[in-house]
């Protein structure tokens, strides 16, 4: 019995040693596999970051085809793709005053492959009208840069006996019940610019909202409304045809297309400025290198003479600004738009 017990005890240590040996070999093999995987993974990650973009990008336009933002978006998208070395696919996602397209981009992965080009209303007017948006104008987006300004202009019926802003103010103050003003929609940049202007001028006018520029322009020419605030792009054909008259540009500088039309500031109200603008943004959370590549590509795009000429030809104003300037614009304009909405009782439709 003792010998049997002794023999059994001799076999157990050997089995234990063999088991430990096998386990150690297995662990070493697993560690080797892990090291090999990591060795292959790390260089791949670096190459992936360095090769951005490695596939087509998507540029969302939150308006239907044919408008100012769509024109700029397609021009910018094509040239942006050339500078990035990948095509930029345009996708129109209209609805709810840019909210549909903006919300789509805000929820997209922050990988640099989904961008948004939109007007300032997305980041300043919409939040002023609706505190429960499906995106945050500051926290949801990473500004890439300003692409263009969309100059706005105060235009009047051809038969109206005024030719400048001071004459218009005098006429309104003399018979305030006689005058109203139109815009291309309630809660639009034209509406907000008008309210900012009347407040600065010290006059109050009833606002007549239209469903777009075309019906507002038709009523202006027909004499149903005495004046309206619209984009230079929409107003140019009628101004050139002599069917309406220009009173003042609402932005800080004169419109390139209308060099003889003064600004509101030049007409006796220094410091006044209210216009629309278009910016390119991405979902918040881009890596520094991806953001730098996008900013560089946009800056090069907006410096292109062909792009600048085409923007001007379409009634727009080339006005590139870096990301920090766009962020500053939003922070400056957002409280102003909220104040206008409250004062004029403007509500989202």
pLDDT, position 66: 84
Predicted confidence band of residue 349 (pLDDT cuts 50, 70, 90): low
CA distance 151 to 193: 11
CA-atom Rg of the chain in angstroms = 30
Higher pLDDT, 284 or 345: 284
pLDDT, position 259: 97
3 state SS of 231: strand
Closest CA to 258 of 227, 237, 275, 228: 237
| Both structure tokens of 230 | 């619209």
pTM of the model: 0.81
% of the chain at pLDDT higher than 70? 85
CA distances from residue 192 to 78, 124, 182, 232 in whole angstroms, order as listed = 32, 11, 11, 16
Whether the Cβ atoms of residue 331 and residue 139 lie closer than 8 Å to each other: no
Higher pLDDT, 37 or 261: 261
Residue 212, H or E segment: none
* Mean pLDDT for the chain overall: 88
pLDDT, position 59: 99
190-229 residue pLDDT tens: 999 999 999 999 998 999 999 999 999 999 999 999 999 9
Residue 1, H or E segment: none
What would the mean pLDDT of 71-81 be, rounded to a whole number? Answer: 96
| Both structure tokens of 112 | 């640099």
> How far apart, in Å, do the first and last CA atoms of the chain sit?
98
3-56 residue pLDDT tens: 333 333 444 444 444 543 555 444 444 544 444 444 444 444 444 456 999 999
Whether the Cβ atoms of residue 188 and residue 348 lie closer than 8 Å to each other: no
Whether the Cβ atoms of residue 348 and residue 129 lie closer than 8 Å to each other: yes
| Both structure tokens of 301 | 């795009």
What would the mean pLDDT of 268-290 be, rounded to a whole number? Answer: 96
pLDDT, position 50: 64
| Both structure tokens of 182 | 């139109």
pLDDT, position 111: 98
Strand partners, 114: 58
Structural domains of the chain, ranges and CATH numbers in brackets:
57-150+276-343 (3.40.190.150), 152-249 (3.40.190.10)
Residue 124, H or E segment: none
Higher pLDDT, 16 or 326: 326
What b/e readout covers 199-236, taking b as 16+ CB neighbours within 10 angstroms?
Answer: eebeeebebebbeebeebbebbbeeebbbbbbbbbbbb
Out of 20-24, 77-81, 124-128, 255-259, which region has the weakest mean confidence (pLDDT)? 20-24
């Amino acid at each position: 019995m003792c010998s049997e017990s002794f023999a059994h005890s001799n076999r157990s240590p050997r089995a234990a040693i063999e088991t430990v040996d096998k386990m150690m070999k297995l662990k070493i093999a697993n560690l080797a596999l892990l090291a090999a995987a990591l060795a292959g993974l790390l260089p791949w990650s670096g190459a992936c970051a360095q090769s951005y973009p490695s596939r087509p990008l998507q540029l969302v336009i939150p308006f239907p085809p044919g408008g100012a933002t769509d024109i700029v978006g397609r021009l910018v998208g094509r040239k942006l793709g050339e500078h990035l070395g990948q095509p930029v696919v345009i996708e129109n996602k209209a609805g709810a005053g840019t909210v549909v397209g903006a919300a789509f981009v805000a929820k997209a992965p922050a990988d640099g492959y989904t961008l948004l080009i939109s007007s300032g209303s997305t980041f300043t007017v919409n939040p002023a009208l609706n505190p429960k948006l499906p995106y945050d104008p500051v926290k949801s987006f990473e500004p890439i840069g300003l692409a263009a300004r969309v100059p706005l202009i105060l235009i009047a019926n051809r038969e109206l006996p005024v030719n400048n802003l001071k004459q218009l103010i005098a006429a309104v103050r003399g018979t305030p019940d006689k005058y109203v003003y139109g815009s291309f929609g309630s809660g639009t940049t034209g509406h907000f610019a008008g309210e900012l202007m009347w407040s600065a001028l010290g006059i109050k006018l009833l606002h007549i909202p239209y469903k777009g520029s075309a019906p507002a322009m038709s009523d202006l020419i027909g004499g149903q409304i005495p004046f309206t605030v619209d984009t230079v792009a929409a107003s140019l054909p009628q101004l050139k045809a002599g069917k309406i008259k220009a009173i003042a540009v609402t932005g800080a500088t004169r419109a390139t297309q209308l060099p003889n039309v003064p600004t509101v500031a030049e007409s006796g109200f220094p410091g006044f400025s209210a216009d629309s603008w278009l910016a390119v943004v991405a979902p918040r959370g881009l890596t520094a290198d991806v953001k730098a590549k996008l900013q560089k590509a946009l800056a090069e795009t907006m410096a292109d003479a062909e792009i600048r000429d085409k923007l001007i030809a379409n009634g727009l104003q080339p006005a590139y600004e870096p990301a920090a300037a766009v962020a500053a614009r939003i922070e400056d304009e957002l409280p102003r738009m909220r104040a206008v909405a409250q004062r004029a009782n403007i509500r989202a439709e």
